């Protein structure tokens, strides 16, 4: 086997609409809107800097089947830059950008290879000074909902040549992702590839070491559910077939979730200062990138009641946002969630023979019994069904959401009853 170096990326989702961003200031909104394209530029720069043999893109180049012309032209320009450096690109389409979607009639460089959807295709990578260095096998999605196990179609080629498979798939039925082109890890192992370049799962993970089976994740986070560094893998395979993976962050806007305890915070000024310190830390850790953060305030403090009066917390958020917009690189506060509680000792109340104590004991029982909580929530939230402005849809709430609603209700009822009555008696 010959030594080779390549980049494995997936899930570019170019021109993603970033829903819910319309209310952002223009500068912030534009930075977020351009972030997928900026991450693509970083990908091209890395490939040129590392002088890789080729680039693999494992599906979902675009965000929707009816891909925007802007996204297609930007991608065309990127792969043209790679081709100018003698770096070919190998691409499969996934569930977001299947072959039956709307595609513009553009001219692509000869070094750009799109895999067909009817069968697994094989391209040979030949370098003038090194000969045949790899065989790359791949198959695209013909439509947006492929349910066939495509992994079973892959077959190893030449014995002494590195074999690489491109597949957009859900391995072993990950419940957090749509189950498209499902397969098992064993299916991939049995196919005889040396390296599996997977796409579809947006969180990077090494599924298997030998052979190497990898999800690189997406190149740019697109919501608060996609936190932390996002990028691609630089892959080195030596002449003994050993694989070395190096992750490179490509994201230009980084999403994060942070918790801040108010237990030792006595005033609004100290809270503002602590939040400012948190934003400065995120700015430093992002190494010049812009950021978007959701902050959860938690803990018991005398500050709790003041935060819940009027618009105090929202006004604080507005002030911090205004300061961030004026900075060179911003950390935009997506929201601040108040999970604080009063200084009431709930553990002591739990032991009381009181109405509040009974309620807290019942809440504690539901926290440890998902079936009991679901039954209770079904009755308690029945009146909210169908309301256009209700907090989500109770009928489709996840166990995690129900637990969070229960915790919020527990804090609220403890505050109200400890103030208005409900003690021992």
Name residue, tokens 């019942």.
362
Phi-psi category of residue 202: left, alpha or beta, with phi > 0 → left and psi -120 to 50 → alpha: alpha
Report helix, strand or coil for 232. strand
- Residue 174 CA to residue 178 CA, distance in Å, equals 8
Residue 300, strand partner residues: 341
In contact, 229 and 254? CB cutoff 8 Å: yes
What residues in the chain have per-residue pLDDT under 70? 343-346, 349, 383-396, 411-412, 414-416, 418-425
CATH of span 4-249: 3.60.21.10
pLDDT, residue 425, reads 46
383 vs 214, 219, 390, CA distance in Å? Answer: 46, 42, 10
Name residue, tokens 């349910």.
147
Q: What are the sequence ranges of the domains in the chain?
A: 4-249, 254-343, 345-425
pLDDT, residue 287, reads 92
Distance in Å from the first CA to the final CA of the chain:
81
- Residue 118: exposure state from Cβ atoms within 10 A (0-12, 13-18, ≥19): exposed
Backbone angles phi, psi at 55, to 5 degrees: -125, 135
pLDDT, residue 380, reads 80
From 95, 106, 45, 43, select the one nearest 71 (Cα to Cα): 106
3-state DSSP helix/strand/coil % of the chain, to nearest 5 = 35, 25, 40
pLDDT, residue 217, reads 97
Radius of gyration of the chain from its Cα atoms, rounded to whole angstroms? 26
**What's the whole-model pTM score?**
0.83
pLDDT, residue 206, reads 98
Written as one string, the DSSP assignment of 335-349 is EEEEEEE-S--HHHH
């Amino acid at each position: 086997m010959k030594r080779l170096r390549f980049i494995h990326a997936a899930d570019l989702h170019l021109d993603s609409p970033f829903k819910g961003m319309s209310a952002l200031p223009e500068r912030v909104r534009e930075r977020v809107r351009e972030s997928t394209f900026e991450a693509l530029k970083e990908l091209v720069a890395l490939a040129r800097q590392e002088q890789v043999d080729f680039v693999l893109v494992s599906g979902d180049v675009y965000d929707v089947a009816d891909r925007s012309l802007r996204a297609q032209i930007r991608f065309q320009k990127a792969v043209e830059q790679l081709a100018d450096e003698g770096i070919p690109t190998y691409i499969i389409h996934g569930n977001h950008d299947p072959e039956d979607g709307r595609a513009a009639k553009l001219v692509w460089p000869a070094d750009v290879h799109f895999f067909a959807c009817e069968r697994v295709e094989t391209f040979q990578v030949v370098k003038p000074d090194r000969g045949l260095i790899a065989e790359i096998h791949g198959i695209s999605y013909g439509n947006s909902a492929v349910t066939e196990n495509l992994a079973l179609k892959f077959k190893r080629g030449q014995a002494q040549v590195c074999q690489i498979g491109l597949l957009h798939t859900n391995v072993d039925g990950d419940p957090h992702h749509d189950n498209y082109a499902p397969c098992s890890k064993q299916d991939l192992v049995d196919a005889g590839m040396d390296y599996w370049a997977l796409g579809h799962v947006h969180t990077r993970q090494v599924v298997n070491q030998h052979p190497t089976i990898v999800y690189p994740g997406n190149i740019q986070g697109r919501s608060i559910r996609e936190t932390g560094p996002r990028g691609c893998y630089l892959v080195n395979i030596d002449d003994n077939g050993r694989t070395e993976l190096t992750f490179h962050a490509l994201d230009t806007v980084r999403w994060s979730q942070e918790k801040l305890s108010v237990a030792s915070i006595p005033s609004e000024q100290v809270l503002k200062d602590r939040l400012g310190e948190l934003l400065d830390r995120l700015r430093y850790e992002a190494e010049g990138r812009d950021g978007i953060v959701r902050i959860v305030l938690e803990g018991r403090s005398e500050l709790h009641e003041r935060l819940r009066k009027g618009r105090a917390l929202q006004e604080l958020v507005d002030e911090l946002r205004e300061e961030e917009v004026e900075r060179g690189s911003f950390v935009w506060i997506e929201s601040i969630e108040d999970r604080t509680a009063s200084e009431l000792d709930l553990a002591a109340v739990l032991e009381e023979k009181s109405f509040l104590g009974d309620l807290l004991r019942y809440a504690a029982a539901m926290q440890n019994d998902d079936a009991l909580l679901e039954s209770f929530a079904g009755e308690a939230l029945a009146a909210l069904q169908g309301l256009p402005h209700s907090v989500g849809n109770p009928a489709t709430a996840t166990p995690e959401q129900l637990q969070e609603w229960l915790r919020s209700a527990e804090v609220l009822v403890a505050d109200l009853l400890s103030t208005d009555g409900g003690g021992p008696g």
